[in-house]
Amino acid sequence: MTYGTTVPYSASSPGPRGSQRVSPGPAGTGPAGTGPAGGDLPRLLPVHGAVPVDLHTHVSRYAAPPYFGHPGQLIPVLKAAGLTGRGGAAFPVYRKLQAVAEARTRPVVIGNGAEGEPASDKDKSLLWISPHLVLDGLQLAAEAVGSQAVALYVHRNARLQERLRAAVAERAAAGIDRAPVEIIDAPPRFLAGEESALASRISGQPAMPRFKPPRVFERGVVGRPTLVHNVETLAHMALIARYGPAWFRAVGTPGEPGSMLCTLHPADGRRDVVETALGTPLRELLRLDGTQAVLSGGYHGAWVPAADAARMTLSNEDLQPAGAFVGAGVLVALPATRCGIAETARVARYLALESAGQCGPCFNGLPRIAAALDEVASPRPDPRAVTDMIRWAGLVEGRGACHHPDGTTRFVRSALHVFREEIRNHSAGRCVDPAREPFLPLPADTALAAADWS
């Protein structure tokens, strides 16, 4: 079950996805635990189109955030709901809360809306359309861990940040928030939302990852235990606090309950944000005819042949055996007329340049891998390029302060496997798409942002 919406302020803003829009049931509000029917979608996005929700509409649809009055009480509810992080790692949400709540020092709570992934729009869309759900979740998370230091870390977009500041001011005036919320600018880098990079940025340093341990929930912003949750995770939290775990589990699978926001890139080149239940068949999300492969999990994710993807659902249970994962819900259908190697090479080059340059294996390995993939994308490539690439991939995996090297090699390795036929074509001097018009989205101003880490 999916619900589509347009992508706000996106250059490639598509029309509404009429074909995938389901008519949602009456979205009444009620006391916690009852609420609207659990099977109804959308939950996070407004019922009618992509009109941004103001505080009045928000409160009349969902009521004010249900504060528990005590720290810690939300945690068992989230555990029962089985909510996992929607930023990509799919880590059980309650565990981070528990760890931070047990810390001796007063913690910091950050909503992570950096969304550095160029193919993902869902956090920006959610913040644009339903900011108050995210801000509710932020307040409830802060209450759960006993924090008064709260901030929202948001992708560098002046209109979005301005709107969020207005929303925060509106809530403060209405007396809804218990803790003041600061809006903090995230630099436009792929790694800006990595937890330790986020903590470093908010502490006044460049947004670069650091070595763990200590984990961010142990020592994060200015050395204090820091709870970082993706903004979509916070929005789900806000609803679970109102309607309870059973409501949350009414959609999704037993192992991976609930709904999630996805950024869909169907083969026709459009770009949509939809809310869908976990366990939805991929072929319902992306029409797969004319598609050769599906990229799942974004640029740290993996390619899956279209024929396999057609049998899979949106779940880690299905995707992980194929080396992919749900991640932050980026799904791209690569048309059969495009060169998967050239596309992957273009993105690998971008990922290499997004290395923070801190870890030797990363800043030495990723550019070499990208250059070798560029070679494989060219006619009659040097046959050593693939073996070099595989050796370098082995040399960078697990050797960075963050997962950037691991995610990049996962993406590249999957391309070498899924597009092996195309590699053979290139060896013979042929390519499926000599025009090489870029398909996978990348930021336009990569070169401009090269030194911009703060």
Q: Which residues bind other proteins (CB under 8 A)?
A: 208-211, 213, 342, 345-347, 349-350, 352-368, 370-372, 374, 377-380, 395, 398-401, 425-426, 429-436, 438, 442, 444-447, 450-451, 453
**10 Å Cβ neighbour count for 218?**
16
Quick one: 147 or 344, whose CB is closer to other proteins? 344
- Report how far residue 51's alpha carbon sits from residue 187's, in angstroms, rounded to the nearest whole number: 27
- Tracing tokens 């998370």 back to the chain, one arrives at 141
In the complex with other proteins, the residue whose CB is nearer, 203 or 425, is: 425
N-to-C CA span, the chain: 39
Nearest residue (CB) to other proteins, 183 versus 356 = 356
CA distance 239 to 132: 11
67, amino acid identity: Y
| CB contact at 8 A, 237 and 141 | yes
- Nearest Cα neighbor of 243 from 86, 26, 30 is 30
**Contact of 224 with 146, CB cutoff 8 Å:** no
- 166 exposure class (CB count in 10 Å sphere: 0-12, 13-18, 19+): middle
Considering the complex, state which of residue 245 and residue 381 has its C-beta at the smaller distance from other proteins: 381
| Spatial distance between the Cα atoms of 164 and 317, rounded to a whole number of angstroms | 36
Q: Under a CB-based contact definition with an 8 Å cutoff, are residues 137 and 111 in contact?
A: yes
Asked if 397 contacts 406 with a C-beta cutoff of 8 angstroms, the reply is: yes
Q: What's the one-letter identity of residue 364?
A: N
Other Cβ atoms less than 10 A from the Cβ of 57: the count is 14
State the minimum distance, in angstroms, from the CB of residue 446 to other proteins: 4
Minimum distance from residue 62 beta carbon to other proteins (Å): 41
Partners of residue 252 on adjacent β-strands: 257
